[in-house]
């Protein structure tokens, strides 16, 4: 049954274009409209994705 479910799911999978850029994205490199941003100044009107803020640790985790 699991084999049949995987076959059905595989039919709807989409090939990932730009797989070579995944390491850069994971490292935190910024891309705007598919173009790598070298500096913080971004062209007006471009949509930039802000990096996620790190969450504060819980007090009990900080003491450990």
Residue 4 lies in a domain: no
- Domain contains 18: yes
pLDDT at 14: 78
Overall number of domains in the chain: 1
Does residue 29 form part of some domain? yes
Domain for residue 6, yes or no?
Answer: no
| Region at 62 (left for phi over 0; alpha for psi -120 to 50; beta for the rest) | alpha
Please report, in tens digits, the pLDDT of each residue of the chain (64 residues total).
899 999 998 888 877 777 888 899 899 999 888 888 887 665 555 555 555 666 666 666 655 5
Predicted pLDDT at 21:
85
* Residue span of the structural domain in which 20 resides: 14-38
At residue 2, the pLDDT reads 92
- Between CA 49 and CA 32 the distance in angstroms is 7
**pLDDT value of position 13:** 83
Question: Is 3 inside a domain boundary?
Answer: no
For residue 27, tell me if it sits in a domain.
yes
Looking at residue 19, its pLDDT comes to: 81
């Amino acid at each position: 049954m699991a084999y049949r479910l995987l076959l059905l799911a595989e039919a709807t999978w989409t090939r990932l274009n730009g797989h070579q850029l995944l390491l850069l994205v994971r490292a935190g490199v910024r891309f705007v409209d598919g173009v790598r941003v070298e500096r913080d100044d971004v062209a007006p009107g471009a949509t930039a994705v802000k990096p996620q803020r790190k969450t504060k640790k819980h007090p009990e985790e900080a003491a450990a």
